[in-house]
Structure 1
């Protein structure tokens, strides 16, 4: 009897051990969370609703600050896929520091919610100024989009306190008037260097390349005295001839925003500033001559100079947004502006503070050999200038 009891107890222990072993070796089962998403659609328009804006960044974040991003097409249309829920949606051009819109929207599971035109208008954040020219009126294009710009003078350019109030300065062709303001230009050169080095952006057209590289009302030689861009970076001579010139858009982002990559530019004046040479590591060519590959439109954010004082520019002292560089899938980098509270979380995910390219703190310099001549004979160049305005 004792032997039978012993066998019974032994079998019972083996049975319990076998059950425990089975339980311990079973694989752990974890449920994967499926993110529910929906879509937001809309059309990015200028402030007054007159112009579709191509190439605008449209994005939002989830609760862990993962970005959901898309671009508007050449007609301003976009479809943004994002997680379900109440979202803050950002619409920006350039790096978002000068033109941006911030709206609230509800993303619904497996549905497309259409945003209204009043929600998707691109707002002006920047303070914009222009110097009146003789052959150019870019302020007309600014106003046609529903944005505002303040007229200033060369005397204002010579006053750093006045200049520093603005984020963007447009230098219209023929505004230099060197003979009337000759004593001002050394100060203007210094101030423009301070302005750009601290994040201000400049657009100069045709003859007003002299603000960049020196010379009088226009330039006829390389290495002239004056200006603030190093002579080795750019040379332009007033040797271009009038006529219709076939041109090619040389930038993928600009092509996508415009919806075309070739155009005819009407150089309807007797002569214009032809780019003779430039430093390709300093300048990016946006538009070129289709037959000769000569540069017709350049931009850079590589400006640096020693001894430049730190000077708050435009909205910088009061902004609650910071520019960051985020890398999307496919190793695509985008520069956007985000609320300062989001910056630590984005940095923890791999973002870096500042734009994705360019010298630290530098604003943009755009130079076009063409412009919107007061007679209005500009053709498709007009939409390129709209792009310039919105991406400075």
Structure 2
């Protein structure tokens, strides 16, 4: 399943920024904060991170880091809590206190801006994928669990994120309904999953992989996704169709070399349920997809995740002036009453119920780690689950 990715085009490294609920038009005094967000130990740049703060009326001021991790935030003056988050902020986030000075530009110390892991992360070892190596290369920690341990919800529910490596299924997933029911339970209650290549079987059924549409097993509705193990050895020209992802990693188009003749192709995908992030530019075939739409109300109420997250909640923040789309953020639970009064709502702006995120990629890390620019995509996935 070795796949080699070669860059064809680098996007311009521009600083992506915005300030909703803004405030200068209403006479709010502000200052500029500048800095660079990096990973916790290896100090790699984190592109696409949300950096934000609030004024005294809970109006948000926010921006995003560029591909080199740099940002410039226009912030209201005074004592401010500055938040740095990736994904919805529930798994990776940092908070610092800053005194913002009127009409002054402050360069924040890089050591203060390193993205912390607050999630408890697990992975199931596979024969062809080793996503845990990339997690470690970013300076973060993942714990190994076995396929059989997925049958024990008391183990599964301890984690915020579970990575399902390609080749990690023992036997046939259709013969392990407890595993897939536990994963459905996990996602319904806010847990996030990464599955790659053959691990699509966890989602839609089959054996150790999936050889036909509508296979037995899995927990994702068959009507939303069909993947078949009929990929041939070939090189595909792919485009990153998600603007935020392209801006975050500075990459818009690349070659993906599938140099073994056995990999899962996505035959069909319901794009009202899944978002397609990477496509084959020739066939328009999806190569990487994401959803926040899985939710089984009959499984709700079974909490998952690290106790470190128990005092934080994910909300959908509503811009005060309705000038842009609402923003998903994670805040301290104690500040919820003020946000509720502002008109914010509990839960993600995009998720159904309390459901977590699922990423599926047809490409992945592997033993020799010669994966080209796929590494940047997978790093982004890790930090945005």
TM over 0.5: yes
Is 1:235 aligned with 2:226? yes
Unaligned 5+ residue runs, structure 1? Answer: 1-31
Q: Does the 8 Å contact 1:372/1:382 carry over to 2?
A: yes
Is 1:219 aligned with 2:232? no
Instruction: Give the Cα separation in 1 of the matches to 2:174 and 2:216.
Output: 12
Q: Does the 8 Å contact 1:266/1:377 carry over to 2?
A: no
Instruction: Give the Cα separation in 1 of the matches to 2:99 and 2:300.
Output: 46
> How many pairs were matched up?
359
Structure possessing the higher radius of gyration over alpha carbons: 1
Q: Secondary structure of the equivalent of 1:261?
A: strand
Change beyond 3 A, Cα 1:327–1:262: farther
Q: Secondary structure of the equivalent of 2:298?
A: coil
Instruction: Give the Cα separation in 2 of the matches to 1:134 and 1:43.
Output: 37
Change beyond 3 A, Cα 1:177–1:118: same
Instruction: Give the Cα separation in 2 of the matches to 1:270 and 1:62.
Output: 56
Q: Does the 8 Å contact 1:266/1:379 carry over to 2?
A: no
Counterpart of 1:4? none
Q: CA RMSD in A?
A: 1.7
The normalised TM-score by structure 1 is: 0.88
Q: Does the 8 Å contact 1:55/1:71 carry over to 2?
A: yes
Superposed CA deviations along residues 69-106 of structure 1, whole A, max 9, x for unmatched, are 11111111001111222211100001100000011112
Q: Secondary structure of the equivalent of 1:195?
A: helix
Counterpart of 1:208? 199
Is 1:158 aligned with 2:151? yes
Is 1:251 aligned with 2:242? yes
Superposed CA deviations along residues 18-76 of structure 1, whole A, max 9, x for unmatched, are xxxxxxxxxxxxxx994321111101101114311111110111222221111111111
Deviation at 1:248, TM superposition (A): 0.4
Deviation at 1:286, TM superposition (A): 0.4
Counterpart of 1:13? none
Q: Does the 8 Å contact 1:275/1:294 carry over to 2?
A: yes
Instruction: Give the Cα separation in 1 of the matches to 2:292 and 2:341.
Output: 26
Instruction: Give the Cα separation in 2 of the matches to 1:305 and 1:82.
Output: 40
* Selected match of 1:297 from 288, 293, 313: 288
Unaligned 5+ residue runs, structure 2? Answer: 1-24
Deviation at 1:318, TM superposition (A): 5.2
Counterpart of 2:347? 354
Instruction: Give the Cα separation in 2 of the matches to 1:360 and 1:126.
Output: 20
Q: Does the 8 Å contact 1:266/1:378 carry over to 2?
A: no
* Selected match of 2:68 from 56, 61, 75: 75
Deviation at 1:273, TM superposition (A): 0.1
Give 4+ residue runs of structure 1 displaced > 6 Å after superposition.
none
Q: Does the 8 Å contact 1:207/1:273 carry over to 2?
A: yes
Change beyond 3 A, Cα 1:33–1:238: closer
Deviation at 1:290, TM superposition (A): 0.9
Deviation at 1:310, TM superposition (A): 1.8
Q: Does the 8 Å contact 2:43/2:114 carry over to 1?
A: no
Is 1:314 aligned with 2:305? yes
Instruction: Give the Cα separation in 2 of the matches to 1:302 and 1:312.
Output: 18
Counterpart of 2:21? none
Instruction: Give the Cα separation in 2 of the matches to 1:318 and 1:80.
Output: 26
Q: Does the 8 Å contact 2:188/2:297 carry over to 1?
A: no
